[in-house]
Amino acid sequence: MSKLLKSYGFRVQRSAFESIIKPEKYKKLLKEIQKIPDKTDSVRVYKIQGRGTVEVFGEPFSIEEEEVIII
């Protein structure tokens, strides 16, 4: 699972990934996640659109605005 998620974004915690992708790639990711058997893992996808805010504490990094953010 982590190999798939790394191909779309980056690891922000041991089991949390974040990515900024366009709608077409988002749909593709959801299809790929659905192929993974239910008993091996679980995934939550949080879709944030528009002008959402992200508060970052600790080492700063920049987030470019795009249409989709998955955490």
Domain boundaries, the chain: 1-38
Reduced 3-state DSSP string for 3-66: HHHHCCCEEEECCEEEEEECHHHHHHHHHHHHCCCCCCCCCCCCEECCCCCCCCCCCCCCCCCC
Give the tokens for residue 10: 């980056």
Query: So what's the pLDDT on residue 28?
Result: 92
Instruction: For residues 52 and 40, give the distance between their C-alpha atoms in angstroms, rounded to a whole number.
Output: 32
| Residue ranges of the chain with per-residue pLDDT less than 50 | none
Average pLDDT, the chain: 77
Residue 49 confidence (pLDDT): 76
